[in-house]
């Protein structure tokens, strides 16, 4: 029985030989997977290329956590960099209670500007107690003004419009005056879009920008757009200096690659996401959730999370040192056992790993293995501290005492000690191997 357990330990420690730092070959293999995942999520191919290039540069020399394979370790780095790229900590709008907040909605036709203007007005009235005024500055399509009026009515939020005017700059200016007069502290200007970017539109938006100096210029991007989101966001940002991004239509099954494309291109925060056609369908943006959605590796990421939470890195270093010095004792053995238990049942952990043959897994008697772990624990608990540190002193009479104390047999105790001795030898060999590898890699 114990031999089986020590095999498990062997598996857990086999990562150790690879331990050290991520190297080119690890990264090359893992990078292929990541690139495919990103392209599948419709991240712009140029962004994929340059993002993975900079990530792999950072990853070189990264320590591999004991509990992860190099591939998983690389995914961990990619995920962290993506979260950072998407804005790190949650993004918030700059809102002031003391001055007039002016938001200008910008984006292509159909991106969701008008809907989002109304959603934001509603949200900030509720959550920031602002008093919003919606402004219809899309003068080219009568239906656009009508659409905003309907939304305003539905929300009971006033809408400023001027059917007779063809001048969005004048409309925006007038709206600003009226807002001050009537005591509004949030003005949201809905502007016109085009199916494609054109110079006239850019000039018009730039004129509005100059004349009313919005506090936020929010680029609205359809979350289902793929490759072209880079050009669109780059042009709008270059011309207008956007301050934030709203990504709409994330209620579909899109993986949301546009989020990475736009964030990477503009380096501007994504402030909200649209998650449906209803006016309440707007949410704060969470970089970590989005990164996991884009990578589409939820299982692997949660495995990484789990491993990372459970493995105390300090502890890992201490253990490695011990193995190298061959001072690994039964206390450490017990620690390792607990580490394994903390990580959840072995089978559930294995199930999460990609590439693990589920059929083979079903063949393993996990319950028996875990029961055996409990028994091992009981035996070690019955030893004195000295015995745990120096298992060599455990003679015949001590073995009998330990067996009695743990409710096991002398044969069980013998098996454990024999198995422990074997794994200690094995670890010592691995420690030496690790040393050689380190030497070759010119590491401290
Ligand atoms: P605009 O041309 O940029 O003003 O875009 P609209 O606000 O008129 O939106 C275009 C279409 O997209 C409308 O049918 C909206 O209902 C829809 N829409 C906007 N945001 C979302 C969203 O987050 N999810 C879904 N499913 N539809 C959205
Ligand atoms: Mg519109």
Ligand 2 centroid to residue 210 C-alpha, Å: 21
Instruction: Say whether pLDDT at 7 is over 60.
Output: no
Between 271-285, 347-361, 411-425, the lowest mean confidence (pLDDT) is in 347-361
> Is 114 near ligand 1, meaning CB less than 6 Å away?
yes
Instruction: Say whether pLDDT at 2 is over 50.
Output: no
Q: Which atom of ligand 1 is nearest to the CA of 276?
A: 24
Q: Please give the mean pLDDT across all residues of the chain.
A: 83
> Is 414 near ligand 1, meaning CB less than 6 Å away?
no
- For residue 416, tell me if it sits in a domain: yes
Collapsing DSSP states into helix, strand and coil, what is residue 282?
strand
Ligand 1 pocket mutation, candidates 189, 248, 253, criterion most atoms within 8 A of CB: 248
Instruction: Say whether pLDDT at 1 is over 60.
Output: no
- For residue 412, tell me if it sits in a domain: yes
Collapsing DSSP states into helix, strand and coil, what is residue 104?
strand
- For residue 297, tell me if it sits in a domain: no
- For residue 299, tell me if it sits in a domain: no
Q: Which atom of ligand 1 is nearest to the CA of 108?
A: 3
Ligand 2 centroid to residue 111 C-alpha, Å: 8
Residue ending a domain, choose from 268, 285, 302: 285
Give the model's pLDDT for residue 10: 34
> Sign of torsion, CA 355 359 364 367?
positive
Judgement on whether residues 227 and 343 belong to the same structural domain of the protein: no
Ligand 1 centroid to residue 249 C-alpha, Å: 7
The end-to-end CA distance of the chain, in Å, is 39
Q: Which atom of ligand 1 is nearest to the CA of 273?
A: 23
Judgement on whether residues 350 and 262 belong to the same structural domain of the protein: no
Per-residue b or e along 262-275, where b marks 16 or more CB atoms closer than 10 Å to that residue's CB: bbbbbebbbbbbbb
Judgement on whether residues 154 and 224 belong to the same structural domain of the protein: yes
> Is 336 near ligand 1, meaning CB less than 6 Å away?
no
A 10 A CB-CB count for 341 gives 15
Mean pLDDT, residues 417-440: 63
Judgement on whether residues 407 and 260 belong to the same structural domain of the protein: no
Judgement on whether residues 132 and 241 belong to the same structural domain of the protein: yes
Judgement on whether residues 424 and 332 belong to the same structural domain of the protein: yes
- For residue 361, tell me if it sits in a domain: yes
Residue ending a domain, choose from 251, 269, 285: 285
CA 301 to chain centre: 8
Give the model's pLDDT for residue 13: 33
Judgement on whether residues 171 and 233 belong to the same structural domain of the protein: yes
A 10 A CB-CB count for 376 gives 24
Ligand 1 pocket mutation, candidates 106, 112, 197, criterion most atoms within 8 A of CB: 112
Instruction: Say whether pLDDT at 231 is over 80.
Output: yes
Ligand 1 centroid to residue 17 C-alpha, Å: 53
- For residue 36, tell me if it sits in a domain: no
Judgement on whether residues 206 and 271 belong to the same structural domain of the protein: yes
Give the model's pLDDT for residue 72: 82
Edge to edge, what strands does the sheet with 216-222 contain?
159-160, 132-137, 186-191, 101-106, 216-222, 244-248, 270-274, 282-284
In this structure, the residue with its CA closest to atom 2 of ligand 1 is 110
Q: Is the pTM of this model over 0.95?
A: no
Judging by DSSP bridges, how do beta strands 186-191 and 132-137 pair with one another?
parallel
- For residue 105, tell me if it sits in a domain: yes
State the ipTM, two decimals.
Answer: 0.99
Judgement on whether residues 235 and 373 belong to the same structural domain of the protein: no
Q: Which atom of ligand 1 is nearest to the CA of 275?
A: 23
Domain hosting 370: range is: 2-20+311-440
DSSP collapsed to 3 states, 356-410? CCHHHHHHCCHHHHHHHHHHHHHHHHCCCHHHHHCHHHCCHHHHHHHHHHHCCCH
Q: What CATH number does the domain containing 148 carry?
A: 3.40.50.300
Instruction: Say whether pLDDT at 212 is over 50.
Output: yes
Please indicate if the annotation marks 384 as binding a ligand. Answer: no
Structural domains counted in the chain: 2
Ligand 2 centroid to residue 146 C-alpha, Å: 10
- For residue 73, tell me if it sits in a domain: no
Q: What CATH number does the domain containing 389 carry?
A: 1.10.260.30
Judgement on whether residues 113 and 260 belong to the same structural domain of the protein: yes
């Amino acid at each position: 029985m114990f031999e089986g357990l020590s095999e498990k330990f062997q598996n857990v420690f086999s990562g150790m030989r690879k331990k050290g730092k991520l190297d080119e070959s690890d990264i090359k293999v893992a990078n292929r997977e990541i690139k495919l995942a990103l392209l599948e999520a419709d991240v712009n191919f140029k962004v994929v290329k340059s993002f993975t290039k900079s990530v792999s540069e950072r990853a070189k020399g990264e320590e591999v956590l004991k509990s992860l394979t190099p591939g998983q370790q690389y995914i961990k780095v990619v995920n962290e960099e993506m979260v950072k790229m998407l804005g790190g900590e949650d993004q918030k709008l700059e809102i002031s209670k003391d001055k007039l907040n002016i938001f200008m909605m910008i984006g292509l036709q159909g991106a969701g500007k008008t809907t989002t203007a109304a959603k934001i007005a509603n949200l900030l009235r509720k959550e920031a107690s602002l008093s919003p005024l919606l402004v219809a500055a899309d003068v080219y399509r009568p239906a656009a003004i009508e659409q905003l009026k309907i939304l305003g009515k539905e929300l009971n939020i006033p809408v400023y419009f001027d059917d007779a005017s063809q001048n969005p700059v004048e409309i925006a200016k007038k709206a600003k005056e009226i807002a001050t007069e009537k005591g509004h502290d949030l003005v949201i200007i809905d502007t016109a879009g085009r199916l494609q970017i054109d110079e006239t539109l850019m000039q018009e938006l730039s004129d509005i920008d100059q004349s009313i100096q919005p506090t936020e210029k929010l680029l609205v991007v359809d979350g289902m757009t793929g490759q072209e989101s880079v050009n669109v966001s780059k042009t709008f940002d270059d011309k207008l200096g956007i301050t934030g991004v709203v990504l709409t239509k994330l209620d579909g099954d899109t993986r949301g690659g546009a989020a990475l494309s736009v964030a990477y291109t503009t380096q501007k925060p994504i402030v909200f996401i649209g998650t449906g056609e209803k006016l309440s369908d707007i949410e704060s943006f969470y970089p970590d959730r989005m990164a996991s959605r884009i990578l589409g590796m939820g299982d692997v990421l949660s495995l990484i999370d789990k491993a990372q939470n459970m493995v105390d890195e300090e502890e890992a270093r201490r253990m490695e040192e011990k193995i190298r010095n061959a001072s690994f004792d039964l206390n450490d053995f017990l620690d390792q056992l607990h580490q394994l238990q903390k990580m959840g049942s072995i089978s559930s952990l294995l199930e999460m790993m990609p590439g693990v043959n589920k059929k083979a897994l079903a063949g393993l008697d996990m319950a028996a293995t875990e029961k055996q772990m409990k028994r091992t624990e009981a035996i070690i608990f019955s030893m004195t501290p000295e015995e745990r540190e120096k298992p060599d002193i455990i003679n015949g009479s001590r073995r009998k005492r330990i067996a009695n104390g743990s409710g096991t047999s002398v044969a069980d105790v013998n098996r454990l000690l024999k198995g422990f001795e074997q794994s200690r030898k094995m670890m010592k060999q691995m420690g030496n191997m690790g040393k050689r590898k380190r030497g070759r890699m010119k590491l401290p």
